[in-house]
A and B are shown apart, each in its own frame.
Chain A
């Protein structure tokens, strides 16, 4: 595969960029593979990439019912950070952040990872104490994290309203400077291109409609493009995890809820870090195009409609106008929803299912864009060995039976 470089950019400019090579093939599915990955979001594609790259397994296909990256991967607000409270989470999110730091070079694809810093605001005494506790716990895990007072917050983000009599006074914030944002599509495309170059078949418009199960062991899938055989299969379908589990005959501790995001009209650069507030469910950053990218909360009801409720937008915009008063004079250009798969402890599930040979990687919920590289890396190791690796181990589906929950719900609340 010819690489991308400044030289190829100049050469292709001479032919008006009409002759770029395709980034990946569009092969017909073969009747059988060693490993199938269901779901062509970032996590599925990263899994396939690392299977080929780290484990030398390239008789692999990724089956995607629509277009790759069209699910939550292409719908999220792209915040990347690793400041999680519990050791198990810290390990996998920090592993992921380290992979992000070299990802554009690794993939020869600019994923536009920008370590502009992620700030989490505290609005009251309880927030402040909790934030201090978290920052110290996070630092004990060797992850960068600092505490800012209100004056420092204002210096980092002058557009914030830090006056004492505002509705949501800002007491201070935590800051992870290595956190930031990345280009969502590029992550899907970069992994797809890298996997394809190593022999993985990426098969789009191919919906899995059932499993072939033989004596409790998976033997293949039924798809809209016919039956495909494989003795080892990884399900990476985010909001549709329960649907695929039902096809395979087991139940999941997961609910699928709409989560929304919106963008404003573009303005000149005024915000060069990510600002998040768990208390008012606001998270905002400014894209390279100048738009404010704003994340809203999720609905409490189950839905597969990819649309959230309007009152959620109303609530979040009300809070944002208080925190960032200039927003009241901006227009919102677009709004959309994705379907996020959420567990009771707000931690993902990676590992075995009750069906032999069938593995699952899901429930990244409202915050799994940041973990795309780490999750793919851990799941590839799990699929290659047939056993969860150290990083995936604690996130077993079985934890809901044993009681070893990883309660990020209480620890990280709603934030991404």
Chain B
């Protein structure tokens, strides 16, 4: 179980949050223009990285706001917390 540093509420128990999977997945701008394979890649494929992952969390039993987290999926250590729409921070596991 992690202690997560909500950008608005500070460090809170993981039970107050929910993880919503990989961050930085952009919907194709012109869905009609992409192939079935590209669309499938957008909808279904995930990096599922063993190592540093960039993912979305929501503080649903707190301020109910969304933010991004960089986490090492081997040790489960959280390496950075940053705002939605922000750039991926450079981190080392």
Using A304-B73, A305-B73, A305-B74 as known contacts, say yes or no to A401 and B55 having CB atoms under 8 A apart: no
Residue A302 CB within 8 A of the other chain: yes
CB distance from A12 to the nearest CB of B (A): 43
Using A400-B40, A400-B44 as known contacts, say yes or no to A304 and B50 having CB atoms under 8 A apart: yes
Chain B residues with CB below 8 A from A299, complex form: 19
Chain B residues with CB below 8 A from A331, complex form: none
Seen from chain A, the residues whose Cβ lies within 8 Å of a Cβ on chain B are: 240, 242-243, 251-256, 299-305, 307, 309-311, 343-344, 400-402
Residue of A nearest to B71 (CB): A301
Using A240-B50, A305-B76 as known contacts, say yes or no to A300 and B1 having CB atoms under 8 A apart: no
Residue of B nearest to A250 (CB): B45
Chain A residues with CB below 8 A from B53, complex form: 302
- Cα-based distance from A309 to B75 in the complex (angstroms): 13
CB distance from A115 to the nearest CB of B (A): 36
Chain A residues with CB below 8 A from B76, complex form: 303, 305, 307
B36 close to A302 (CB less than 8 A): no
Q: B interface, by DSSP: helix, strand, loop or mixed? A: mixed
B46 close to A255 (CB less than 8 A): yes
B19 close to A252 (CB less than 8 A): no
The 8 A CB mask of B58-81 against A (1 = contact, 0 = none) is: 000000000000010111100000
CB distance from B88 to the nearest CB of A (A): 16
B1 close to A255 (CB less than 8 A): no
Using A311-B14, A401-B37, A402-B36 as known contacts, say yes or no to A242 and B48 having CB atoms under 8 A apart: yes
Residue B21 CB within 8 A of the other chain: yes
A300 close to B18 (CB less than 8 A): yes
**Residue among A243, A251, A302, A305 with max Cβ neighbours from chain B (10 Å):** A302
From B19, B41, B74, contact of A301 by CB (8 A): B19
- Cα-based distance from A301 to B57 in the complex (angstroms): 9
- Cα-based distance from A305 to B1 in the complex (angstroms): 12
Chain A residues with CB below 8 A from B74, complex form: 304-305
Chain B residues with CB below 8 A from A254, complex form: 46, 48
Chain A residues with CB below 8 A from B41, complex form: 251
Q: How many A-B residue pairs have CB under 8 A?
A: 69
From A242, A310, A311, A344, contact of B44 by CB (8 A): A344
Using A243-B50, A253-B46, A311-B15 as known contacts, say yes or no to A303 and B21 having CB atoms under 8 A apart: no
Residue B47 CB within 8 A of the other chain: yes
Question: Which 5 residue pairs are nearest across A and B when measured between Cβ atoms?
Answer: A253-B44, A242-B48, A301-B19, A251-B45, A401-B40
A255 close to B48 (CB less than 8 A): yes
- Cα-based distance from A301 to B69 in the complex (angstroms): 11
List 28 contacting pairs A-B, 8 Å CB cutoff, sorted by A.
A243-B50, A251-B41, A251-B45, A251-B47, A252-B48, A253-B40, A253-B45, A254-B46, A254-B48, A255-B21, A256-B50, A256-B73, A300-B19, A302-B73, A303-B73, A303-B76, A305-B73, A305-B76, A309-B2, A310-B1, A311-B1, A311-B14, A311-B15, A344-B43, A400-B44, A400-B45, A401-B36, A401-B40
Residue of B nearest to A240 (CB): B50
- Cα-based distance from A311 to B1 in the complex (angstroms): 8
Residue of A nearest to B75 (CB): A305
- Cα-based distance from A307 to B73 in the complex (angstroms): 11
Chain B residues with CB below 8 A from A343, complex form: 44
Chain B residues with CB below 8 A from A304, complex form: 50, 73-74
- Cα-based distance from A385 to B48 in the complex (angstroms): 31
Chain A residues with CB below 8 A from B14, complex form: 309, 311
- Cα-based distance from A343 to B14 in the complex (angstroms): 24
Chain A residues with CB below 8 A from B71, complex form: 301
B48 close to A302 (CB less than 8 A): yes
- Cα-based distance from A42 to B86 in the complex (angstroms): 43
CB distance from A210 to the nearest CB of B (A): 14
B1 close to A302 (CB less than 8 A): no
